[in-house]
Amino acid sequence: MTDVRILGTGAYVPDRVVSNDEAAAAAGVDDAWVTVKTAIRERRWAADDQATSDLAAAAGRAALASAGITADQLSVIVVATSTPDRPQPPTASYVQQKLGAAGAAAFDINAVCSGLVFALSAVEGILARRGGHALVIGADLYSRILNPADRRTVILFGDGAGAMVLSMAGHDGAEQDGARRGPRIRHVALHTFGDNSGLIEVPGGGSRLPLDQAGLDAGLQYFTMDGRGVRSFVSDNLPQLTKEFLHEAGVVPDDIRHFVPHQANGVMLDSVFADLGLPLATMHWTLGEYANTGAASIAITLDAAARAGAFSPGDLILLAGFGGGMSVGFALVEW
């Protein structure tokens, strides 16, 4: 078992605040409808001159400051995103340049809204081999791929980035005193259910269906989601997968004190949380003000809770991501 620690967290959201009425105007619904359906009140959308790498770099700087290290101490940067700056090169290469982390290997992971947990798992293996410090960032800029007339999607998403600095205990200056090494990632598990990959997608723009003018006219560049199908998938699978994960991690449901899920939809989260059987856990939300920020949402929410002093030493925190693919990822963190 590895001993990967979280040395610091950080987050960034754009300045522009977008109300429900503004986001939903072209879709023919209003603030009351959005609030009842999702518990989302507002979201942040990026400025015209911002790309995903800009948000990711800002969150990365905040995490580095929290960890007390500099970018030149990083050995790897992983950006989890499904809205890259460009199809090529990886968005992480732009982040490396913006941070001045010339010595770090940099690459992207796309597991949509589960991407942050998938990235944590990948970095855990890398640090076990080479040590050093890693920067893991979840970042998405969904406002660029939303159909403004589609009420099923345009109301749900915001833009943002969240980050963590990770280190293998005992490597590259990591503190030996357990109280100072930071929260420990105790266990990670990943799942993909490819038979359900059609529930969430952007149809055009890849090698299967390159975009031409006909595709643009048909709206194939936009994010699409079968909302009922996604809700059924989460309701049907997350409770059992959570139970299996806790068993694998060697803990029982009563041990969990905090639940930090992907911030998909507040109404759905309330319903699913009731079925998870975590009687002593507090569920943490940021979706009311930031909406669904894709791969960023877990890291943004973890950072907000940490900075608010919500966690005590020894608390067990369950991170749960779920999204396109369909993908599901869990991480157990001991604060």
pLDDT of 180 > 60? The answer is no
Q: Is 59 left (phi over 0), alpha (psi -120 to 50) or beta?
A: alpha
Mean pLDDT across 172-196: 75
Q: Is 262 a catalytic residue?
A: yes
Q: What band does 128 get if pLDDT is binned at 50, 70 and 90?
A: confident
Q: Report the share of the chain in percent with pLDDT over 70.
A: 96
Report d(CA 71, CA 195) in Å as an integer.
40
The whole-number pLDDT of residue 172 equals 45
Are 156 and 140 contacting, i.e. CB atoms less than 8 angstroms apart?
no
Are 265 and 158 contacting, i.e. CB atoms less than 8 angstroms apart?
no
Q: What band does 263 get if pLDDT is binned at 50, 70 and 90?
A: very high
Polymer length of the chain: 335
Domains (range + CATH), the chain: 4-182 (3.40.47.10), 185-334 (3.40.47.10)
Of residues 113, 187, 258, 284, which has the active-site annotation?
A: 113
Q: Which long-range contacts (CB under 8 A, 24 or more apart) does 65-70 make?
A: 65/8, 65/10, 66/7, 66/8, 66/9, 66/10, 66/165, 67/7, 67/8, 67/133, 67/165, 68/7, 68/8, 69/7, 69/8, 69/133, 69/165
Please list, in sequence order, all residues whose beta carbon lies within 8 angstroms of the beta carbon of residue 179, skipping any fewer than 6 positions away.
313
**β pairing state of 74-80 and 105-109:** parallel
Q: Report the share of the chain in percent with pLDDT over 90.
A: 91
Mean pLDDT across 261-275: 94
pLDDT of 1 > 90? The answer is no
Q: What band does 170 get if pLDDT is binned at 50, 70 and 90?
A: low
Of residues 20, 196, 265, 292, which has the active-site annotation?
A: 292
pLDDT of 273 > 90? The answer is yes
Q: What band does 2 get if pLDDT is binned at 50, 70 and 90?
A: low
Report d(CA 332, CA 317) in Å as an integer.
6
The whole-number pLDDT of residue 144 equals 95
Of residues 187, 258, 262, 284, which has the active-site annotation?
A: 262
Q: Which tens digits make up the pLDDT trace of 59-117?
A: 999 999 999 999 999 999 999 999 999 999 999 999 999 999 998 999 999 999 999 99
Q: Is 292 a catalytic residue?
A: yes
pLDDT of 176 > 50? The answer is no
pLDDT of 130 > 90? The answer is no
The whole-number pLDDT of residue 177 equals 38
Mean pLDDT across 306-332: 96
Average pLDDT of the residues of the chain? 93
The whole-number pLDDT of residue 212 equals 94
pLDDT of 174 > 50? The answer is no
Mean pLDDT across 196-209: 93
Closest to 296 in 3D by CA, of 151, 83, 121: 83
Q: Which two tokens stand for residue 133?
A: 């410090």
The whole-number pLDDT of residue 248 equals 96
